[in-house]
C-alpha cells in the first residue's frame, strides 16, 4: 500500500468519525429544539461516533469515500408545525456538512500560506488533509440535498408539496430509493453531483477569500 492510499484511508476515517456524527447529531439537536425529543431519548444528541455509525456505511466511506450513518428517527407529531419541523430538522444535517467544509477550507488556506512561507512539505501534507475533508463534506452535503427519498433533500422538498402529492410520492419511496442506488452504482449521478459539488466549492472558496488577505497582513507578505 503506497503513501497516497494510506493518506486517503486516513482522511476517509477522519471524516467518518467527525462529519457523520456531527451530521446525525445536528438532525437530533434541531428536532429537539423544534419540539421532538425522540433523538435525545435514543441517545443521538451526542458526538460519540459509535452512536451514529453503521458497519456497512462506515466501511463504504473508508474504502470508497462514500458512506452514511444511522438515520435519526424523528416524530413529526411532536412538532407544532410538522412540515416546517421536518424541513428544518432535515436541513440541519447537510447544513452541518457545509459548515464543517467552511471551517476546513479556512484551515486549509491558512496552512497553505504557512507552507509557502516556510517551504514546508509537512505543512503541505497537512493542508492536503484539510482540503480533502472540505471536498468530502461538500460532497456529503450536496448528495444529501438531492430531493430523492430517503435523503434529507426529499424531506425538505416534500415540506412545500401539497399533502396529497407528498403521500403519493411516499408510496413509492422504496422504489425511488432503489432507483437512486442503481444511478449511483452505474455512475449516472457522477456528473450532476460533480457539477453541484464544483459550484459549492467555488462558493466556499469565495467565502473564505478573506483568509489570504488576513494571513498576508499578519505575516507581512
pLDDT of residue 63: 77
pLDDT of residue 72: 92
Catalytic member of 24, 121, 163, 173:
24
Distance CA 90, CA 70 (A): 14
pLDDT of residue 1: 63
Q: Output the nine-digit C-alpha cell for 34.
A: 423544534
Q: What is the pTM of this model?
A: 0.89
Residue-by-residue DSSP string for 65-124: S---BPPPP--GGGSSSHHHHHHHHHHHHHHHHHHHHHHHHHHHHHHHHHHHHHT-HHHH
Which residues of the chain fall short of a pLDDT of 70? Answer: 1, 66, 163, 167, 170
pLDDT of residue 31: 96
> Is 24 an annotated catalytic residue?
yes
Q: How far apart are the first and last CA of the chain?
A: 40
pLDDT of residue 6: 82
Q: Output the nine-digit C-alpha cell for 79.
A: 412538532
Instruction: Using DSSP, state whether 113 is helix, strand or coil.
Output: helix
Amino acid at each position: 500500500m503506497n503513501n497516497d492510499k494510506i493518506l486517503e484511508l486516513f482522511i476517509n476515517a477522519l471524516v467518518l468519525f467527525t462529519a457523520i456524527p456531527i451530521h446525525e447529531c445536528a438532525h437530533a439537536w434541531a428536532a429537539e429544539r423544534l419540539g421532538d425529543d425522540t433523538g435525545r431519548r435514543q441517545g443521538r444528541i451526542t458526538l460519540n461516533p459509535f452512536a451514529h455509525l453503521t458497519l456497512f456505511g462506515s466501511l463504504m466511506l473508508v474504502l470508497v469515500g462514500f458512506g452514511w450513518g444511522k438515520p435519526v428517527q424523528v416524530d413529526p407529531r411532536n412538532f407544532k408545525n410538522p412540515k416546517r419541523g421536518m424541513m428544518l430538522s432535515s436541513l440541519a444535517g447537510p447544513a452541518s456538512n457545509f459548515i464543517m467544509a467552511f471551517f476546513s477550507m479556512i484551515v486549509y488556506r491558512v496552512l497553505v500560506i504557512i507552507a509557502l512561507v516556510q517551504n514546508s512539505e509537512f505543512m503541505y501534507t497537512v493542508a492536503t488533509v484539510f482540503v480533502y475533508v472540505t471536498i468530502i463534506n461538500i460532497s456529503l452535503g450536496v448528495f444529501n440535498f438531492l430531493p430523492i427519498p430517503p435523503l434529507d433533500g426529499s424531506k425538505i422538498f416534500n415540506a412545500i408539496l401539497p399533502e396529497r402529492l407528498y403521500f403519493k410520492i411516499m408510496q413509492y419511496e422504496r422504489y425511488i430509493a432503489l432507483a437512486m442506488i442503481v444511478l449511483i452504482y452505474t455512475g449516472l449521478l457522477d456528473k450532476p453531483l460533480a457539477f453541484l459539488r464544483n459550484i459549492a466549492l467555488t462558493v466556499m472558496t469565495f467565502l473564505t477569500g478573506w483568509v489570504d488577505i488576513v494571513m498576508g497582513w499578519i505575516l507581512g507578505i
